[in-house]
Every structure is written in structure tokens, then in C-alpha cells.
Amino acid sequence: MQSTRQHRIYLSTPTSHGDEERYIHETFVRNWLAPLGFHCDAFEAEVCDYLAARGGQERSALCLSSGTAALHLALKLCGIGRGDTVLCSDMTFAASVNPVCYEGAEPVFVDAERESWNMDPTALEAAFAAHPNARAVILVHLYGTPARTREIRQICRVHGAVLIEDAAEAMAARDGGEPCGALGDLGVFSFNGNKIITTSGGGMLITQSEQQRARALHLATQAREDAPWYEHREVGYNYRMSNLLAGMGRAQLTHLEEHRARKAEIYRRYAAGLSGLPVTMNPYRAGTEPNFWLSCLLIERGCAVTPMAVAGALAEQNIETRPLWKPMHLQPVFRQNEYSCTGGVSVTEDLFFRGLCLPSDIKMTEEEQDEVIAAIRACF
């Protein structure tokens, strides 16, 4: 059936407020269009101030070209290399894992818990039992919902492993009054176009010290030495953020809490509007504050309606949805990698086959969200 809707309802798109133009215009006025620059410096400082104001410890930050670049540099700071094992969240986007492979290390995937859809500490302990020399853990806060970071951080300390916190989807989320991205040894944010704030494309590495930041900056600028000529003693990368895009990020940051509040409102309206159906919303634990980046539903077991049937029905009405992230251990590229789950039942597989991401665009009107809700209810 062809949709009569002219305006598509999207999953999550960038939202600008007008003041982005003022920051970007300043880069033209000052003719600073090159990578790095005054906007990058200010954006880093303002993010660190934001994290501290939200209850975080003192941190340093580095603007980069993507969240993936930030994660790659985090691994470089940890000295991860060929032959090393890194324990990784199983339910995530491939970008959370690919940098492990860049360095020739081996990712081992860890199952999720049902309470938050994030890494299960019990499965992590089992992974450490099988790989006692694992040097790092990459923990993902799925869909902006905080994981059991404190518990997992303690497990990492016991085993002498570094905790890299992939908060690409979780900026503005908090766990126990502390901000995601500043809970681990190293943190990563993404400012991709669909994230809660955006620089069009970009990311940020959060470090515990200025020394770590300086080392990451050196690697991100082609590892160029301080010499009058181009001198390189190691392989580097072109991972810098444009000063132009950092200006956009500064403007977006001033609206972050506004975006989070709107995302939370969308989540609550879905929860109320879908009540009575054989579905539940993506859960979060008491004591945590998600950023509600994406609202997701989970269909009860045994229900004849499938996520793909719901997705198809909404697509006919020009409404965008998306399956949950396909677990990494099910991806063909990682089919040979180990996977740690407890009880012989994979939580991530169960979630993948029963879940669906719903439109969570903060520009979506209440009337449009009501249409989405009505379309979902019609499926049941």
C-alpha cells in the first residue's frame, strides 16, 4: 500500500536552533577553517565543564573526526595490540568493535542483562575466567541507557583491565549521579548526525589526564614530531575535528539538556500510548537517568506479531523504524569470535528477534507520535 503521508516521520535526525550559524560564521570571520582551532579548544573545555557540572570527576577532552576514531585512540592509549584480548558489549553497532580489529587484537563478546540491555556483569566475569589476561573492556551504554558501570568498573580493577566507556549514544545520561562518558578509565562520545547533539560528523575522547590527551592528540595529528620539518617516529592518523564543526558542536551543547528532556517526553508518551499491548519499552535501572536517545519496544514472547511486521506496517505510512542492533556474535565477520553468556540462553539474540527502535526525533509533533502509536496498535 502506498502511503498518503507527504512528510516522513524519521527515527532521529539533526536538530538545529539557529545559533549554530553564529558560531560557524565566526570561523569565516576569523578565517579559521582548518582542523583544530579556537572552537575545538572551547568545545573541549565546555564538554569537560558540562561533565563536571553533572557530577563527574575532572577530565580532559579531545575533539576528533568520529566516535570510532576516539575509540581507536583509546585502545592505542591502552597499548592494545596484536594478540591481546578485549572484552566487548555484544549488542552494539560494529563501530564499537572494529577498532579492536584495527590493532590486531581479538574481540570477545559479552552478553547483555535484561534489566538494561547492557553488558551483564556475570557474563563478563565468565569472560574473564576464560580470558584472564584480557587487557581491556569496551562497555556500551545502549540507546542512551546506563550500564552497570560501577560494578563492571570494579570487575575490571580486580582483573587489571582498563575500562573504555563507549558513551556514543549516551551523552547526558547519568548513573548514580555521575555522567556517562566520565565513569570509566577512558570515555567516548559520538556527534554523528543522529545523536542527541551533532557536529554533522565527529566525536570526542574523554581522558583522565592532560598527558593522555596530549598523547592522543599527537597520534591524531599524524604523529608529527616537534621539528621544523615533517618528522615522524611512529605511525599516526588524520583524526582531527574541523574547527568549523566544533563551532556547531558548541552551539548544540547549549541545547543538550533541552534535547534530553524532549527525548524523555517521547519515551513516556510511547509508554503510555502502548500500554495494554503485549509490548514493553526498553528498560532502565533505578538510580540511572537515561538520555532516551532512542525509544524501543520489545514484543512479548509467543505473540504472533513480529517486529518486522510492525516495521512493515509503519513503513507503509512513511514512518521510519529500525531493528535493534544485531548482536556482534551473529555478524558474519565475527562468526569465529567467542561469546560469553550465562545459563546457555543468549539475551542479546532474544532482544534482537523481538525488538524494534521507534521514531524518536525531537522535532516529531505529538500528533505525529500519536499516528505512530495508532499504527503500532493497529498491528495488534
User: With 0-12 CB in 10 A as exposed, 13-18 as middle and 19+ as buried, what is 231?
Assistant: exposed
Are 333 and 216 contained in the same domain?
no
Are 191 and 334 contained in the same domain?
no
What average pLDDT score do residues 91-106 get? 98
- pLDDT bracket for residue 322 (50, 70, 90): very high
- pLDDT bracket for residue 1 (50, 70, 90): very low
pLDDT tens per residue, range 56-96: 899 999 999 999 999 999 999 999 999 999 999 999 999 99
Are 50 and 162 contained in the same domain?
yes
What average pLDDT score do residues 7-34 get? 91
pLDDT tens per residue, range 159-174: 999 999 999 999 999 9
pLDDT at 4: 61
Are 148 and 37 contained in the same domain?
yes
- pLDDT bracket for residue 268 (50, 70, 90): very high
What average pLDDT score do residues 188-203 get? 96
With respect to residue 9, please indicate whether it lies within any of the assigned structural domains: no
User: 15 near 362, Cβ under 8 Å?
Assistant: yes
The alpha helices in 108-242, defined as continuous H runs, are: 121-130, 149-159, 210-220
Residues 6+ apart with CB under 8 A from 66: 190, 192, 201, 202, 203, 239
> Mean pLDDT across the chain, nearest whole number?
96
Alpha carbon 182 to its chain centroid, in Å, reads 13
pLDDT tens per residue, range 333-365: 999 999 999 888 899 999 999 999 999 999 999
With respect to residue 287, please indicate whether it lies within any of the assigned structural domains: yes
Are 241 and 263 contained in the same domain?
no
With respect to residue 5, please indicate whether it lies within any of the assigned structural domains: no
pLDDT tens per residue, range 121-153: 999 999 999 999 999 999 999 999 999 999 999
| Phi and psi angles of residue 153, each rounded to the nearest 5 degrees, phi first | -60, -40
pLDDT at 36: 84
How do beta strands 60-64 and 106-110 pair?
unpaired
Percent over 70 (pLDDT), the chain:
99
Gap between the Cα atoms of 337 and 330, Å rounded: 10
Spatial strand order of the sheet with 355-357 comes to: 279-281, 296-299, 355-357, 322-323
User: 196 near 291, Cβ under 8 Å?
Assistant: yes
Task: Reply yes or no on whether the pLDDT at 106 is more than 60.
Answer: yes
Identify the residue whose cell numbers are 614530531: 225
Are 231 and 277 contained in the same domain?
no
pLDDT at 104: 97
pLDDT at 3: 58
Are 162 and 37 contained in the same domain?
yes
Give the torsion sign (CA, 103, 105, 106, 111).
Answer: negative
- pLDDT bracket for residue 211 (50, 70, 90): very high
pLDDT at 232: 96
The grid cell for 280 is 514493553
Are 91 and 237 contained in the same domain?
yes
pLDDT at 5: 66
pLDDT at 6: 77
CATH number at residue 349: 3.90.1150.10
Residues 6+ apart with CB under 8 A from 108: 85, 86, 87, 88, 127, 130, 131, 134, 337, 338, 339, 340
Gap between the Cα atoms of 107 and 109, Å rounded: 6
Gap between the Cα atoms of 352 and 349, Å rounded: 5
Residue numbers of the domain that contains 261? 256-379
Give the torsion sign (CA, 54, 59, 60, 65).
Answer: negative
Are 225 and 276 contained in the same domain?
no
The grid cell for 166 is 563507549
Identify the residue whose cell numbers are 583544530: 36
Are 157 and 295 contained in the same domain?
no
Percent over 90 (pLDDT), the chain:
93
Are 366 and 245 contained in the same domain?
no
With respect to residue 1, please indicate whether it lies within any of the assigned structural domains: no
Number of structural domains (the chain) is 2
Task: Reply yes or no on whether the pLDDT at 303 is more than 90.
Answer: yes
pLDDT at 333: 98
pLDDT tens per residue, range 115-124: 999 999 999 9
Are 270 and 201 contained in the same domain?
no
With respect to residue 4, please indicate whether it lies within any of the assigned structural domains: no
Identify the residue whose cell numbers are 570494579: 154
